[in-house]
């Protein structure tokens, strides 16, 4: 079977490589020539556990090659971004363009699968009109489905194999064909439904998480006012068999959880009340965090204080800083007039104007350390090893990542968000 995967990013590339290593012939497509070149040289433009060796294997055995244009194939998988516009409406131009790009190559009997997360009805309203240009009878000569990815960056390969999948077809045959394909490597159950239900399910999953995180953030603010450690309180609440409160933090980043809820708001603005409120609550966390840092500096009478933001990635142990709460915390600190320096062990090339290359430089020049990303490298730090500017520097941990006792013993003034 020949597979054509359009979009070789965080989802498309691991998926393409999985299929290639499961014996399929895979033609990868990315519009970025540099990315295509790198991949064919077995080099990565993204960081993901286990991807390097799997890519090498797929290329070496001749099952995988990348190109800038599609080709005739039995199955097409589309995995391109579906971001939001500045006004929080969905930008489906990449989905439309990717669909249009395969139209000249699609032959009778082909299956087209969308993996990108999209607002409900996108397959119907955006993809099908493009695919009708093939003049094939949709559902009889051309099969279409939505099989949303559900993997978490950092554990993509584990989750690709073990997670259940929701597959929604434009008809039953499309869904069945999609299930048959993924079964070559998926060990989780593959549940079949229609395309619009699958679209809604995927967006609901990420919205559930966003609303739950907003709830945790609201609780964190309440707890701060009564001197309770919210992390401990949530831990206790979650011992209840029917309670699963998520964790607070400096904001919600990534291209999924902070984006997808807006798809529902756009779909039904007058009904998506809690969803919108939650989104705005989470978007308010970077400024809330920055103000907490500002207050701490004031409390210790530090004037013209400098903050070292530890972590630029949107979450722990990944190298991805797009839509990262950390960069928004930095913006907020700067808006408050504070001087900022930042460091991230996973972001190798300097990508942010405040970024410095070493932890020593960040810590050694700042009055307050602000941990925004729970990388293992930060958890493993020995406070005694760090040369600090202040004899008793302030440390604000927004992720409950550090051991308070160890840092307090090393003479740090230790604080947590939500405490």
Catalytic amino acids?
202, 256
Give the nearer residue to ligand SAJ in terms of CB position, either 279 or 315: 315
- 161 closest CA partner among 153, 151, 169, 174: 151
CA distance 363 to 260: 36
Here's the x/- map for ligand SAJ, 128-157, by CB under 6 A: it reads as ---------------------xxxxx----
**Residue 249, interface with ligand SAJ (CB under 6 A)?**
yes
Alpha-carbon torsion, ordered 122, 126, 127, 133, to 10 deg: 160
Q: Give the sign of the dihedral formed by CA 148, CA 150, CA 156, CA 158.
A: negative
Question: Of 79, 113, 181, 213, which one interacts with ligand SAJ (CB under 6 A)?
Answer: 213
Q: From the CB of 274, what's the least distance to ligand SAJ, in Å?
A: 17
Give the nearer residue to ligand SAJ in terms of CB position, either 205 or 411: 205
Q: Which two tokens stand for residue 191?
A: 């549940």
Q: Which of residues 88-107 bind ligand SAJ (CB under 6 A)?
A: none
Alpha-carbon torsion, ordered 330, 94, 55, 190, to 10 deg: 100
Give the nearer residue to ligand SAJ in terms of CB position, either 117 or 342: 117
Give the nearer residue to ligand SAJ in terms of CB position, either 166 or 272: 166
Here's the x/- map for ligand SAJ, 296-315, by CB under 6 A: it reads as ------------------xx
Q: Which two tokens stand for residue 183?
A: 């079964």
Here's the x/- map for ligand SAJ, 182-211, by CB under 6 A: it reads as -----------------------xx--x--
* Residues facing 309 on adjacent strands: 342, 370
Give the nearer residue to ligand SAJ in terms of CB position, either 39 or 257: 257
Q: Report the first-to-last Cα separation within the chain, whole angstroms.
A: 56
Residue 416 dihedral angles phi and psi, to the nearest 5° = -125, 150
Enumerate binding residues for ligand SAJ (CB under 6 A). Answer: 117, 149-153, 205-206, 209, 213, 246-247, 249, 252-254, 256-257, 314-315, 325
């Amino acid at each position: 079977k020949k597979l054509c995967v359009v979009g070789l990013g965080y989802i498309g590339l691991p998926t393409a490589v999985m299929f290639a290593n499961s014996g399929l012939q895979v033609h990868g497509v990315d519009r970025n020539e540099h990315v295509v070149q790198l991949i064919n040289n077995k080099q990565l433009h993204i960081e993901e556990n286990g991807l390097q060796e799997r890519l090498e294997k797929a290329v070496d055995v001749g099952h995988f090659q990348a190109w800038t244009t599609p080709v005739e194939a039995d199955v097409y998988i589309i995995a391109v971004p579906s971001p939001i516009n500045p006004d929080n409406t969905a930008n489906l131009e990449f989905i439309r363009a990717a669909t249009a790009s395969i139209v000249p190559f699609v032959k009778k009997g082909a299956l087209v699968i969308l993996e990108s997360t999209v607002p409900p009805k996108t397959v119907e309203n955006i993809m099908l009109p493009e695919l009708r240009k093939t003049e094939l009878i949709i559902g009889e000569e051309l099969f279409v489905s939505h099989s949303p990815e559900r993997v978490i960056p950092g554990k993509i390969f584990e989750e690709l194999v073990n997670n259940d999948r929701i597959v929604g077809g434009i008809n039953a045959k499309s869904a069945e064909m999609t299930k048959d394909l993924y079964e070559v490597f998926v060990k989780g159950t593959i549940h079949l439904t229609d395309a619009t239900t699958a679209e809604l399910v995927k967006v609901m999953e990420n919205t559930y998480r966003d609303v739950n995180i907003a709830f945790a953030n609201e609780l964190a603010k309440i707890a701060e006012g009564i001197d309770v450690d919210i992390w401990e309180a949530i831990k206790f609440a979650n011992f209840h068999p029917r309670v699963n409160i998520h964790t607070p933090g400096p904001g919600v980043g990534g291209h999924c959880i902070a984006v997808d809820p807006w798809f529902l708001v756009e779909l039904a603005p007058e009904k998506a009340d809690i969803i919108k409120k939650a989104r705005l609550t989470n978007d308010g966390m970077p400024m809330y965090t920055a103000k907490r840092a500002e207050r701490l500096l004031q409390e210790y009478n530090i004037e013209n204080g400098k903050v070292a933001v530890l972590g630029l990635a949107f979450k722990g142990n990944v190298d991805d800083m797009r839509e990262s709460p950390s960069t928004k915390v930095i913006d907020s600190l700067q808006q408050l007039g504070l001087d900022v320096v930042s460091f991230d062990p996973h972001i190798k090339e300097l990508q942010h104007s405040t970024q410095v290359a070493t932890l020593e430089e960040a810590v050694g020049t700042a009055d307050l350390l602000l941990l925004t990303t729970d990388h293992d490298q930060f958890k493993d730090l020995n406070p005694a090893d760090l040369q600090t500017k202040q004899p008793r520097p302030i440390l604000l941990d927004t992720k409950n990542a550090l051991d308070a006792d160890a840092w307090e013993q090393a003479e740090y003034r230790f604080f947590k968000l939500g405490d």
